[in-house]
Structure 1
């Protein structure tokens, strides 16, 4: 045991040193904010730096200084190597400057405050050196070039705008007014150094609000440069043909476990394997969040190895780990690896052998089904492999025409490649009217050997209402034609809230939560999806989102919206995801 104590002590020292560096930057952020909002405190800080005093590294009054320290604190907390390098370079330069000033000027050595500032700066640099191995997260290799491009382009644009503002608002007498070059130099100085006032520059006399606006532009430019410099690395290359082949082999052996397992073969996902190769986690990186989809694939005994490998990769690249749509079984395994679970909603699963249209509870569904049937609509059910290529092309064309968005949506519960030859075991349900015209289609992916999971639903908006219900009921009642015993339908977010909130005796908090969800359902169809699934009286299987820190949930939510196709950011592709 004693042989391992030195390594343990070193790890503890590194951890505490890294934590101190982060908290130093957080403290600097708070102090800078206080200096910005408090006139007297801010004046004291500025007076100290202008006289025979100097403040600790990165401590100066102003929102820009607070922003700079805050970004460094966040990136250091994520253990990014690039942030450590920048902090070390700046810290060493400041420490050398302070050392030279203290050595050359006795009046600076005479003040205890300067010794305190010097000691805190030296302690910060020492903490960086002691904790250097803790900052191992890699950034994208293109970050330096991107940061330089953003800095140059942003500076040119901001200089042009600032020069125009100075020109328009300059109140100096015409005979003493600065020329264009002078006004441009003033704008550049104000942008770069966040300094410079009209009364200190000959020929420039601008209102205070113009100076503030230029400072805001400078702060925004600084933020953009830092974000570009510390951007997390984009995902590794999406899975290749060999990866997909191995995933399909795992699905053949263990595909019965998870209805969403087949969606792991989406080709925009990356895959990471357990050391034994018997399990894998598939994921996609969006906005610095690594989104793992549903359960790991493969042997549950090998899941921990795949999860460890995925979490290690997240740490190596400063990605926020998150799992979307995990089952209760997988969620339990993920929580053993330090993640927290939050119920996201429920999956509707219909057991075909137990389903019936009889009874009062199914009256409305039965009537809708019979109405469509009487109108002459028919359904055809086939495996994709049994559909001729020309027919599949036509079905795909109709599906694209009926799509309600410009691009395919989906990530965790959608395949996104209708008609691909590799998906021959998928099942297509086609609905045609009395004249034989195609009016709706549904596609299901395999769920093990005897199950199906809904992938895609499309319909002609001008056709009879109830076509989707008709198609689903036809598939349920004729499931034996495709050797199916269970069917997974749409996912219902917050299903339990709608169900429990409508019950007698529901509390005020639950009722309020239900009312809020009903309000937002006007745009996102949260309640309508629940009711569309509930009419089949399915078995509800809970699904969970797994996360490391609750403070990262908003970021995870945005990443999910991007991955699922509900949020498109106007960012050039070279910036990465």
Structure 2
């Protein structure tokens, strides 16, 4: 990934790595595979006997094991090279140089050593193409965690020597034992000699394995994706709100840029910004850029440049048609992700056969004595707001606050005084359900939160939505955005006459997935209000990045575990610094799979 200036007005971004960089990554991975194969295969006849005169058998065995480990690490480091990580290049240079030595030590293999030497020379020549900055938060752990493995290897090696001290040649002291164990961790033969060759080889391989493990952990920590903690000043918060007040009519997702877990990439003029969150090496934006459309390209260029500088994969979740065109002009690929349900307040009514189910649900719950209050948050007493916050937590399905692209993930924050709350109470005045709509420009609402008591009468949700739409016209609201339906067109087209076998098969797959994620049920829940469907899009660099982007999106929406949590209290959405960060193993597996 590389960003470059295409014109004096705004920058374009080249989504696919330069051919040379991608080729180098593949060559390094092929060299790693070559190391693994040559390390596993038996050495050529005759060479081992010649080599044993200069290198002890334990050293040869350790070199063979190290060759395999280095090969695996070269395969792993290829992902970082493809993203232009400077640290990945440094690690690849060290591994390539180490491979040259290991091939000579393990069996005097000249040909593989020459191949690795050529790889090393190539990496040195093209060093200027790898410029993505290192991850500052992992530097201390790069030292501390591998040091722990190294110390453990030293202790285990020292214990093995102590257990077999009666098999040592001569009577070396414990200082020599410590020297033997320490040198074994770094793969060097120590001063001790064992009467039993097996015992000596076992100590060497044990300590050497811990040393290799420490090196591998250091590499994982060194190359793991960096997810910065978002820091937003009060001034930036005010600037975003000003942009939404001036230009917020275009995108119903604009207000969600005020989430506390999103960072901002600004155009130089300050007239536009891209709100994003970094998860697992993916810089995930949502919705259209904020602000003046004329300044969008500058904000997008700043975001892409920041992504390139850190080696992140840029992606956009749920942007509209205007945003999709802007991101496509900047070099990203765009595909349709689903549709957003929009209700026109002026034309909405409960008449007709198509609205029969909603009409019956509303009538049923009214007969049960339920009533709805629709008001701006700032108009409600503090005691009522506190009651709403408590009820929302009680009604939530599970402990996780879900949502990212179309969710604010906070309730009752004084900064959101313009939010519209719909409070549904039963005949005994108990709060049984609530909706929160955030502002969408000057004349729109966007559904943020929907909670209800599962023991309430059927039709609770329909009653609250209809009440909100009925009250909207008196508040100067002419459009309401409901939930987003992923891949809605598949469900809609599968029901039409003449749907093909591929579409029907895809429909069955999505219905199966709906058992775990509410894909079809969200579509059905929205469709009953006869909305207008507005497409939403996914933007990404290349098709091979889609699996990693999908994992990041599922984490952002809280369908997969992540170290960040967003609170929904009176103080607003804040990333929980006490929450444990994503594990290193998780990051390693994610990158290895990619």
**TM-score per shorter chain, which class?**
0.7 to 0.9
CA contact under 8 A between 1:35 and 1:60: conserved in structure 2? no
Shift of 1:478: 2.4
User: 1:116-195, aligned counterparts within 5 Å?
Assistant: 120-156=115-151, 193=187
Contact 1:289 1:319 in 2 (8 A): yes
Deviations 1:133-192 (A, max 9, x none): 21110122233321122212334557778999x89xx9x9x986999x999999988876
DSSP-derived class of the 1:404 partner: coil
Aligned to 1:483: 476
Which structure 2 residues correspond to residues 204-215 of structure 1 after superposition, within 5 A?
Answer: 204=198
Q: How many residues align?
A: 537
User: 2:74 maps to which residue?
Assistant: 69
Match of 1:251 among 244, 248, 252: 244
CA displacement at 1:43 relative to structure 2: 6.3
Q: TM-score, normalised by structure 2?
A: 0.79
Q: Matches of 1:201 and 1:82 in 2, distance apart?
A: 44
In the TM superposition, what are the counterparts of 1:73-112 in structure 2 within 5 Å? 73-89=78-94
> Matched residue of 1:316: which SS?
helix
Cα shift readout 1:245-279 (whole Å, capped 9, x = no counterpart): 11111111111100000001112110011122111
**Partner residue of 1:7?**
none
| Partner deviation per Cα, 1:489-523 (whole Å, 9 max, x = no partner) | 11111211111122222222221221121112112
**Following TM superposition, by how much is the alpha carbon of 1:294 offset from its aligned partner in structure 2, in angstroms?**
0.9
**CA displacement at 1:203 relative to structure 2:** 7.3
Superposition pairs of residues 296-445 of structure 1, within 5 angstroms: 296-445=289-438
In structure 2, distance between residues paired with 1:26 and 1:213: 27
2:47 & 2:305 partners in 1: Cα distance? 44
Q: C-alpha deviations, 1:292-316, integer Å up to 9, x for none?
A: 1111011111111111111110010
SS in 1 for 2:539: strand
2:25 is matched with which residue: 22, 27, 41?
Answer: 22
Q: Distance in 2 between matches of 1:422 and 1:48?
A: 78
- Partner of 1:555, secondary structure, is helix
| Higher RCO, 1 vs 2 (CA within 8 Å, ≥6 residues apart) | 2
Which residue number in structure 2 is paired with residue 295 of structure 1?
288
Q: Identify which range, 231-240 or 292-301, moves more after superposition.
A: 231-240
Q: Secondary structure at the match of 2:554?
A: helix
Cα 1:94/1:503, change in 2 over 3 Å: closer
How far apart, CA to CA, are the structure 2 residues paired with 1:215 and 1:352? 71
2:471 paired with 1:492: no
Contact 1:71/1:226, CA 8 A, preserved across alignment:
no
Superimposed CA distance per residue, residues 387-410 of structure 1 (whole angstroms, 9 cap, x where no aligned partner): 122221121111112122324222
> Any gaps of 5 or more consecutive residues in structure 2?
1-16, 54-62, 564-578, 588-594
- Between 65-74 and 247-256, report the one with greater CA deviation: 65-74
Structure 1 contact 67–223 (Cα < 8 Å) conserved: no
Q: CA deviation at 1:477?
A: 2.1
Aligned match of 2:501 = 508
Q: Give the 3 Å change call, closer, same or farther, for CA 514–20 of structure 1 in structure 2.
A: closer
- Kindly report the root-mean-square deviation, in angstroms, between the aligned alpha carbons of the 2 structures: 4.1
Conserved in 2, the CA contact under 8 Å of 1:68 and 1:223? Answer: yes
C-alpha contact 1:278 1:302 (8 A) present in aligned 2: yes
* d(CA) in 2 for partners of 1:207, 1:536: 74
The aligned residue for residue 537 of structure 1 is: 530
- SS of residue matched to 2:473: helix
> C-alpha separation between the residues in 1 aligned to 2:232 and 2:210?
41
CA contact (8 A) 1:81 1:138 kept: yes
How far apart in 1 are the matches of 2:137 and 2:67? 31
**Residues 273-296 of structure 1 deviation map (CA, whole Å, 9 limit, x = unaligned):** 112211110001111110011110
- Deviation, 1:83, is 2.1
Choose which of 196, 217, 234 in structure 2 pairs with 1:202. 196
5+ long unaligned stretches in structure 1: 1-13, 53-57, 102-107
User: Is residue 32 of structure 1 aligned with residue 26 of structure 2?
Assistant: no
Change (3 A) 1:457 1:45: farther
Give the whole-Å Cα distance in 2 for the aligned partners of 1:45 and 1:407.
64
Q: 1:122 to 1:17 in 2, by over 3 A?
A: farther
Deviation sequence 1:364-387 (CA, Å, 0-9, x none): 111111100111101110011111
Shift of 1:457: 0.8
Q: Tell me which protein shows more helix as a share of its residues.
A: 1
User: What is the alpha-carbon distance in structure 1 between the residues aligned to residue 524 and residue 551 of structure 2?
Assistant: 26
Distance in 1 separating the partners of 2:194 and 2:560: 47
| TM superposition shift of 1:573 | 3.5
- Tell me the SS of whatever aligns to 1:462: coil
The SS at the match of 1:271 is strand
**In the alignment, what sits opposite 1:55?**
none
Give 1:481 deviation, angstroms: 2.7
Q: Normalising by structure 1, report the TM-score.
A: 0.81
Distance 1:46 1:457 in 2: 73
CA contact (8 A) 1:177 1:204 kept: no
Helix, strand or coil: the match of 1:524?
Answer: coil
Deviations along 1:321-352, one digit per CA (max 9) or x if unpaired, are 11111112211221122211222211111111
